[in-house]
Structure 1
């Protein structure tokens, strides 16, 4: 006696031919405003206000990352100069910048980067290639990536 199947012919699942890219390097900002260690803090404040940014990487003449300067670092300098009644025109970035800088790998999955943002409370991470600053990823960049990926299965993206 022949067994009949009531299942129809199974359709082959379509493979996604378009590979979604979600590496940090695909979403990072490459055109950065950078600062130099010998730059005056007051210049940094003017640039932060003009460009509506909250900080930026500090690089040497070889474009190697040497620190990060933030609006908080500038505020601390202003507060200290007022408290000690000392003029602030001579203070330099190299004296106020944070030198222990966390970076991310440009090949990292952008959603793994999101987890690191949550754990670290950082607003931005510099991206280095061969010791040189090539970009920066911010929390906003990760949000843009998520918005671009909406409707796609994030688990199937490249890691």
Structure 2
């Protein structure tokens, strides 16, 4: 007679990640922000001082009204040379991107990667209940993916 073994029904195992996968876990929370009335020259100085390539523009009530980047600064430099005018009198409001794409704080880095790929942006402001809580960059997503590289993403 053979040996019979019955272990019973197997439990369904829910996949849990040991590393965090949400945007809020990888976003930059301490941001260098800018004001619409700030000069482009001051923005460029802050870009170099903090080794950043862009940042959110906030109004007096701390609401997000735009985003300024190195590309926007390049436009002012180019125009200044063409029109032979100094950069000093140029302000952020004239050159910032006003229709800012944002993402919520509680989406996964995988969804954020899809948004970056679709929209070809370098950075996205992160909102929670309409309030700016951080910013995530493509580099942040790459770092998150590296931390998860040893795990099964399904």
- For Structure 1 versus Structure 2, the TM-score category normalised by the shorter chain is 0.7 to 0.9
Question: SS in structure 2 opposite 1:133?
Answer: strand
**Which residue of structure 2 aligns with residue 26 of structure 1?**
25
- Paired residues, number: 153
Unaligned runs of 5+ in 2: none
Please give the TM-score of this superposition, normalised by the length of structure 2.
0.88
Instruction: Give the stretch that moved more between structures: 7-16 or 41-50.
Output: 7-16
Q: Separation in 1 of the partners of 2:129 and 2:60? A: 15
Check whether the contact 2:17–2:151 (CA below 8 A) recurs between aligned residues: no
Instruction: Give the stretch that moved more between structures: 17-26 or 28-37.
Output: 17-26
Please give the TM-score of this superposition, normalised by the length of structure 1.
0.85
Unaligned runs of 5+ in 1: none
Q: Separation in 2 of the partners of 1:90 and 1:44? A: 12
Q: Separation in 1 of the partners of 2:50 and 2:105? A: 25
**Which residue of structure 1 aligns with residue 131 of structure 2?**
132
> Following TM superposition, by how much is the alpha carbon of 1:152 offset from its aligned partner in structure 2, in angstroms?
1.5
Q: Separation in 2 of the partners of 1:54 and 1:149? A: 26
Instruction: Give the stretch that moved more between structures: 123-132 or 34-43.
Output: 123-132
**Which residue of structure 2 aligns with residue 62 of structure 1?**
61
